[in-house]
Amino acid sequence: MTPRPGLVLEVDGSTPPTLFWHGERFVLEKLPEGSRVIYAPEPLVPLEDPVGAIRHALLHPLGDRDPLPALLWPGMRLTVCFDDVSLPLPPMQAPDVRQLVMEQVLDMAAEAGVDDVVLVAALALHRRMTEAELRHALGDRIYEAFAPSGLLTQHDAEDPDNLVHLGTTGKGEDVEINKRAATSDLLVYVNINLVAMDGGHKSVATGLASYRSLRHHHNPKTMVHSRSFMDAPSSELHSSNWRMGRLIADSGVKVFQIETTLNTDTFPRQFGFLQRREWEWSVRDRAMYAAAAAALDRTPPRVARQVFHSIRAPHALVSVQAGEVEAVHAVTTANIWKQQGVEVDGQTDILTMGLPYISPYNVNSIMNPILVACLGLGYFFNLYRGQPLVRRGGVVILHHPTPWEFHPGHHPSYIDFFEEVLSDTTDPVEISKTYEESFATDPWYVHLYRTGHAYHGVHPFYMWYWCAHALDHLGRVIVVGGDPAAVRRMGFSPATRLADALEMASDVVGRSPTLTHLHTPPLLLADVR
Amino acid sequence: MRSLVFERNLPRFAASRLASTLGSGRGAAVGPLRLLDTEPPALPGPGWVRVSPLLSGICGSDLATLDGRSSRYFEHVVSFPFVPGHEVVGVLETGGRVVIEPVLGCAARGIDPPCPACARGQLGNCERLAFGHLKPGLQTGYCADTGGGWSHAGLVAHESQLHPVPDAFLDEDAVVVEPVACATHAVCDAALGGGETVAVVGAGTLGLAVVAAVSALSAAGHVAAPGALFVGARYPHQRRLAGELGATAALAPDQLGRAVRRKTGSLSMADPRPRRPGGPLTGGADVVFDCVGSADSIGQSLAVVRPRGRVVLVGMPGRVHVDLAPLWHREVRLLGAYAYGTERLASGATARTFDLAFEVVAAHGLGRLVSATYPIERFEEAVQHAGAAGRRGSVKVAFDLRHKEARHGEQPHGDAHGDAHGDAHGGEQRHSDARHLARSTTSGRDGRPSTGGTS
């Protein structure tokens, strides 16, 4: 059966309550009549032969690139880079698509007699992956072949011996990336393009870059002028990455880009109700929801977190393309919109969204308050093309417990950012000017980033900058069910119930506002006309 | 005349120690402290005067004594029975208000020539605390001969112990001069260097007084100004007050180490993988004032001080179990800071600690630290309140002895310090924030309270 497209539902008296994520729980909320609910398209049908499709893409590249085997020869230096643990969300059921792609890339390299091969996890300033995470992403065969001999590496943005400065763009942006990758005869980059923001020149220019390079586009000014991140032509973040990517190409780095898109089959069968529209819930769906909701209500948050983080998504490959970066990415972006795009007429006064337990930066970790803000205001707010779903001066209502809780091993600088920086100011520009440098160069954070599993010291700043566009655009942010102290620390307003939040929102948008709910999962991209 | 008397009574001492396991201050109800009718103490000799207490504070060392947790070290410098109360503002028979400098040094003990410490003006280091014509007693409030502040019978004080109270001072301002003097001595003795990072562990009366002393004395040029002053405070009202008194940042205790680490660019020896709040820093604060004196606070102080830094024990410690390996390995200077005497200032001049303490109190209007007063008849509640001050949103709890006549059916004597705010019905007096706010807004340009002597 052909998957149905997305739709915008207008709530009326017969509409059942709407599902909201609430961290490690979910709730059903009755939305006011006249509200709109945006539903994503149904998951696309998976490729019947993903291995064959990958091979076909490698042999039939797009743009100005030869087939991969023609780019491989004995004695060459080959570096294969891959997206890190932040993709996809949730982590997918084995085999991970990175494994499927890289097995073929490495088989072709072996057939061509290439023996100088190094794998690089493109961390940028993310935390290093654990052995279990690497094994899951690459499979045991690749891990065992490369890790013992030190050929499976993770990009270290603080390793001066393995960074190379390739030059500056016409706008004065430093381009400094992983030296091994930049000095290889061929750089193969394996992407998982979960949303339209991923991939393109951003893969190498961000994933393999240093702080010196990243600071040129990960800053409040760039973020405010990225409208949105999901629409590359309107995104200053992408413009900067494209300038850098072209400089990388011009400096002689040959990139063979492989991009993959997945369908939005996000949760396994027992959570199937999360994927379906509420009025279409079967008796089984209702029973599963009731059982899950009741169980989670009685489960300590820490246990519930472990349960959810053990979920592996049944994501399936729906497209794969390879070749020259820009040619590949144009096709990828179209494929993502095909899966996730929903046309929406006009903006709304109030945008509501339920936030899940996971974001790109807390896989197997804690969704701390900064990540809550980033997921809601940085990612979900930006899931648009054209114009934001919510009007300027409007209100966003987030639904999340927002605990004042941090993972000290993964997010050490987040703790200090929350205590030291946000207690002083929430203004991204002021934060950038006053605090960024000292966090970015703090030797303790550098040590933890390089040797532990910590995000870089500057990472919480970037998370806050992701919110800059929304903070600049919105009249108020309200968090339903959040820890009041944590919510207030970020400059937002806490509300106990959705009804309270709507009452509070009326101070900003009047007493007869329009309301739109961004229904997730699965992910969607709103094409706002 | 009713007085609170602390007697040597081992069964009651044991009972108080047992009761204190239920919470600080619980020992008062079952311990050796009793409310008795007493006579005014005799004048020990020439140069001694009678003082009628107006307010007398309850100090951490008092709580330790009442709870049976005080170190046995003090047994030889205390004489029984004694009337506690060494934080005292009182009135002389001639009518003037005075604050008592309670240390009973050579001058008070009639020892001449004085011991080397007293000769240098370092009264707190007196080497004759158990000698001379007085019974042993390190301070007024621990000596059987002098009486103490928790008494309607009054106390006797040597003229060397008297500090006149300026008219602009409220009784509440005056009663905190003694603990502020302790803090002032600690700050002056810490040899602060300009731009240093300073941490204060604990924000009860002593901790807040240290913060006030650092900011007031550095502003006056008496000590070098620190680069940053971080305070670890358990309760929100303590953090608010610490901020008002000049802290760079007042933080929850578990945040203190992180803030110091950030400021000083230190690393941490904590293993980042387990979920632990943090281990010792590789660098750290130049000076740490431990204003608690517990094993935990000393341990935290040693964890956040830099190698060769100074940890100043301001709060009175007892028998504590502390790992001194970091002190040895990092060559940390552990300094005691007891009482007061004469301080050497940054200018090279000297000043009596109490004179400086009066300046600190005036600069910050520290009478606002007095959160509640009780009549001595309700000493159990008062001591329990003092023991739970932080949890109950309070700082300093004191006994109010201004209205004994009213309780006896007499008229208040109408001196400049009597008013109706004392508790004629024996009730607790809460000193609201609004009252303190009103007082702070009437401060003069020099920061000294400009209200009259009545409260």
The reply to whether B240 touches chain A by the CB within 8 Å rule is no
Q: Can you list the residues of chain A whose pLDDT is less than 50? A: none
Residue A65 maps to a domain: yes
Alpha carbon A22 to its chain centroid, in Å, reads 19
Nearest chain A residue to B278, by CA:
A408
Per CB-CB distance under 8 Å, the chain A contacts of B258 are 415-416, 419
Distance CA A256, CA A296 (A): 45
Instruction: Tell me, yes or no, whether A196 lies in a domain.
Output: yes
Contacts of B329 (CB under 8 A, 6+ apart): none
Closest listed residue to residue B400, CA positions, set B380, B368, B427: B427
Site from A444, A445, A489 to mutate, B interface, most B CB atoms within 10 angstroms: A444
The pLDDT value recorded for residue B436 is: 40
Same domain, B156 and B211: no
On whether residue B14 sits in a domain, the answer given is yes
Chain A positions touching B273 (Cβ under 8 A) are 409, 452-453
Q: Report the distance separating Cα A485 and Cα A477, nearest Å.
A: 15
Q: For the segment A357-380, what is each residue's pLDDT rounded down to a tens digit?
A: 999 999 999 999 999 999 999 999
A304 located within any domain: no
Q: Note whether residue B357 is domain-resident.
A: no
Q: What is the CATH number of the domain that holds B218?
A: 3.40.50.720
Do residue B294 and residue B435 come from a single domain? no
Domain count, chain A: 1
Q: What pLDDT does residue A59 have?
A: 98
Let me know: does B358 contact B181? Beta carbons within 8 Å.
Answer: no
- What are the angstrom distances between the C-alpha of A168 and each of A56, A177, A182, A245, A250? 36, 12, 15, 11, 12
Mean pLDDT for chain A overall: 97
Looking at the complex, report in whole angstroms how far the Cα of residue A416 sits from the nearest Cα belonging to chain B: 7
Query: How much is the CA Rg of chain A, to the nearest whole Å?
Result: 22
Residue B345 lies in a domain: no
- Token look-up 């937002």 returns A492
Same domain, B399 and B253: no
Distances (CA, A) of A110 to A100, A116, A254, B256: 16, 10, 19, 55
**Pairing between β-strand B162-164 and β-strand B97-100 as defined by DSSP bridges:** antiparallel
Which residues constitute the domain of residue B232? 191-336
Per-residue DSSP letter, B39 = P
**How far from the centroid of its chain's Cα atoms is residue B233's Cα?**
17
- Residues B2, B122 within the same domain: yes
Over residues B424-448, the mean pLDDT reads: 38
Q: Which residues of A touch B249 (CB under 8 A)?
A: 420
* Segment B376-381 mean pLDDT: 96
Cα maximum dimension of chain A? 71
Are B140 and B202 part of one and the same domain? no
Residue B420 has pLDDT above 60, yes or no: no
User: Which chain B residue shows the shortest CA-CA distance from A412?
Assistant: B272
What ranges in A298-419 are assigned the alpha helix state H?
301-309, 325-340, 369-373, 412-416
Give the pLDDT confidence score for residue B438 in this predicted structure.
33
pLDDT score of B439 more than 50 = no
Q: Residue B372: is its pLDDT beyond 90?
A: yes
Q: Is B344 part of any domain? A: no
Question: What would the two tokens of residue A512 be?
Answer: 């007869």
Higher pLDDT, B407 or A10: A10
Kindly state whether A390 is in contact with chain B, defined as any CB-CB distance less than 8 angstroms: no
* The predicted structure's pLDDT at residue B429: 54
Contacts of B272 in chain A (CB under 8 A): 408-409, 412, 448, 452-454
Is there a domain that residue A280 lies in?
Answer: no
Cα separation, A527 vs A517, in Å, equals 15
Neighbour count for residue A4 (Cβ, 10 Å): 10
Partners of A351 in the β-ladder: A396, A516
Task: Answer yes or no: do B386 and B448 share one domain.
Answer: yes
Report yes or no on A29 lying in a domain. Answer: yes
Whether residue B331 is found in the same domain as residue B419? no
In a domain, A84, yes or no: yes
Question: What pLDDT score was predicted for residue A334?
Answer: 97
Q: Phi and psi (nearest 5°) for A516?
A: -130, 135
| A419:B277 CB<8 A | no
Higher-confidence position of B193 and B434: B193
> Which domain does A152 fall in, by range?
1-257+323-529
Q: b/e map of A146-157 (b: 16 or more CB within 10 Å)?
A: bbeeeebbbbbb
Query: Would you say B82 and B5 are in contact if contact means Cβ atoms under 8 Å apart?
Result: yes
CA distance B279 to B379: 41
CATH number at residue B126: 3.90.180.10
**Which amino acid, B209?**
A
- Could you give the CA distance from residue A423 to residue B145 in angstroms, rounded to a whole number? 53
Beta-carbon count within 10 A of A343 CB: 15
Closest alpha carbon within chain B to A444: B267
**pLDDT at site A512:** 95
Both ends of chain A: CA-CA distance in Å?
A: 29
The residues, any chain, with a CB within 8 Å of residue A342's CB and separated by 6 or more, are A5, A6, A7, A8, A38, A39, A40, A41, A524, A525, A526, A527
- The distance of B272 to chain A (nearest Cα, Å) reads 5
Q: Answer whether residue B353 shows pLDDT above 90.
A: yes
Percent over 70 (pLDDT), chain B: 87
A447 neighbourhood in chain B, CB within 8 Å: 267
Q: Is residue A521 reached through a cis peptide bond, with omega within 30 degrees of 0 on the bond before it? A: yes
CB nearest B268 (choices: A409, A438, A444): A444
Name every chain A residue with its beta carbon within 8 A of the beta carbon of B239: none
**pLDDT tens digits for B327-350?**
999 999 999 999 999 999 999 999
Instruction: Indicate if B76 and B219 belong to the same structural domain.
Output: no
| Mutation for A interface: B239, B258, B263, B281, most A CBs within 10 A | B258
Q: Which residue of A has its CA nearest to B281?
A: A444
The torsion of the CA quartet B290, B293, B294, B298, rounded to 10 degrees, works out to 40
Say if strands A515-518 and A36-39 run parallel, antiparallel, or are unpaired: parallel
User: Each residue of B20-54: pLDDT tens digit?
Assistant: 888 888 888 889 999 999 999 999 999 999 999 99
Q: Is A302 on the interface with B (CB under 8 A)?
A: no
Helices (H) and strands (E) in chain B, counts: 15, 18
Question: What is the value of ipTM here, to two decimals?
Answer: 0.84
CA distance B278 to chain A (A): 9
Residue A355 in any domain: the answer is yes
Average pLDDT, chain B: 88
The predicted structure's pLDDT at residue A270: 86
**CA distances for A20 relative to A14, A27, A31, A37, A298, angstroms:** 18, 5, 11, 11, 18
Q: How far apart are CA A449 and CA A410, in angstroms?
A: 9
B50-59 tens-digit pLDDT: 999 999 999 9
| Average of per-residue pLDDT across B140-166 | 97
pLDDT digits 0-9 by tens, B219-253 = 999 999 999 999 999 999 999 999 999 999 999 99
Selection from B128, B225, B159, B183 nearest residue B343 by Cα: B183
Nearest to A332 by CA among A57, A38, A4, A1: A57
Using 50, 70 and 90 to split pLDDT, how confident is the model at B426? Answer: very low
pLDDT at B272: 54
Q: Do A447 and B267 touch (CB under 8 A)?
A: yes
CATH of the domain at A31: 3.40.50.11440
Check if A126 contacts B (Cβ < 8 Å): no
Q: What is the mean pLDDT of residues B284-288?
A: 98
**A&B contacts, CB < 8 Å:** 38
Helix (H) or strand (E) holding A135: helix A131-146
Reduce the DSSP state of residue B448 to 3 states and report it. coil
Q: Does B262 touch chain A (CB under 8 A)?
A: yes
A409 contacts in chain B (CB < 8 Å): 272-275
pLDDT of the residue at B273: 53
Structural domain count, chain B: 2
Question: How many whole angstroms separate alpha carbon A135 and alpha carbon A404?
Answer: 32
B268 and B324 belong to one structural domain: yes
Q: Checking DSSP bridges between strand A255-262 and strand A317-323, what pairing results, if any?
A: antiparallel
B236 and B164 co-located in one domain? no
A89 at B interface, C-beta within 8 A: no
Helix, strand, coil content of chain B in percent (nearest 5): 35, 20, 45
Pair (B92, B202) in one structural domain: no
Distance (Å) of CA A154 to CA A127, A185, A297, A452, B450: 9, 19, 39, 12, 67
Quick check: is A308 in a domain? no
Both B56 and B158 in a single domain?
yes
Q: What DSSP line would sit under A257-294, residue for residue?
A: EEEEEE-S--S-GGGGGGGS-GGG--HHHHHHHHHHHH
Residue positions counted in chain B: 455
